[in-house]
Amino acid sequence: MISLDPASLNPTRAYLLQLACIQPRPIALVSTRSAEGVVNLAPFSYFTGVASTPPTLCFSVGRRQPEKDTYANIVATRELVIHMVDRSMAERMVACSADYPPEVDELTACGFTAVASEVVKPPRVAEAPIAMECRLRQVVEVAEDDRGAHLILATILRYHVREAVWNGGRIDPSPLDPIGRLGGQSYCTCRARFDLPRPPKPEQG
């Protein structure tokens, strides 16, 4: 077993090591809108659920100067839409990660179709199998010196689920066809699945 002290690594190496150790990671494709009305769309793979009551998601945005448009827009407007990414969206999702200037609408520039949301101003991505309209709940600063991340906690206000994915009141992972992020430039699909029942509750006494 190899033992590594992250404090002994340069920041880039430490970052790449952590990404390679935590895989696969779901991808949040996040749409926001600036106070001036410019739409931003960007992917984040430090992403997961936090709670179901209230329904809460989290993802992190790396700290930098100037701040990323996603973070700046969320702080300014407190609104966002988080989309799940399927295989058909992969190439366009990666295109959104390019460092576009703030005045560029990545949703349109990268070939996605905008759909009006119901309760927030940022649009939804029509091609996404699942979209969750959210409002900012809290920002947790995870920082050391000038490095670190903004941990965004967002409350879900609306779910939008493609009909083919909605099977008898549940999400069917087969038509959902989600992808995950691995290390480096690698991604994976979730087409091979297996079921394992949870163990029964131990008897008391």
Residue with tokens 């100037």: 66
**Distance in angstroms (rounded) separating the CA atoms of residues 139 and 59:** 10
> Do 87 and 20 touch, CB atoms closer than 8 A?
no
- Token pair of 55, please? 């329904």
**Distance in angstroms (rounded) separating the CA atoms of residues 81 and 73:** 12
Lowest mean pLDDT, pick from 9-13, 30-34, 104-108: 9-13
Indicate the pLDDT class of residue 202, thresholds 50, 70 and 90.
Answer: confident
> Do 51 and 61 touch, CB atoms closer than 8 A?
no
81-104: pLDDT as tens digits = 999 999 999 999 999 999 999 999
> Do 136 and 74 touch, CB atoms closer than 8 A?
yes
pLDDT beyond 90 at 195: no
29-50: pLDDT as tens digits = 999 999 999 999 999 999 999 9
CATH of domain 26-188: 2.30.110.10
**Degrees (nearest 5) of the Cα angle 42, 138, 24?**
45
For range 7-33, the mean pLDDT: 92
Domain definitions of the chain by residue range: 26-188
138-178: pLDDT as tens digits = 999 998 777 889 999 999 999 999 999 998 889 988 899 99
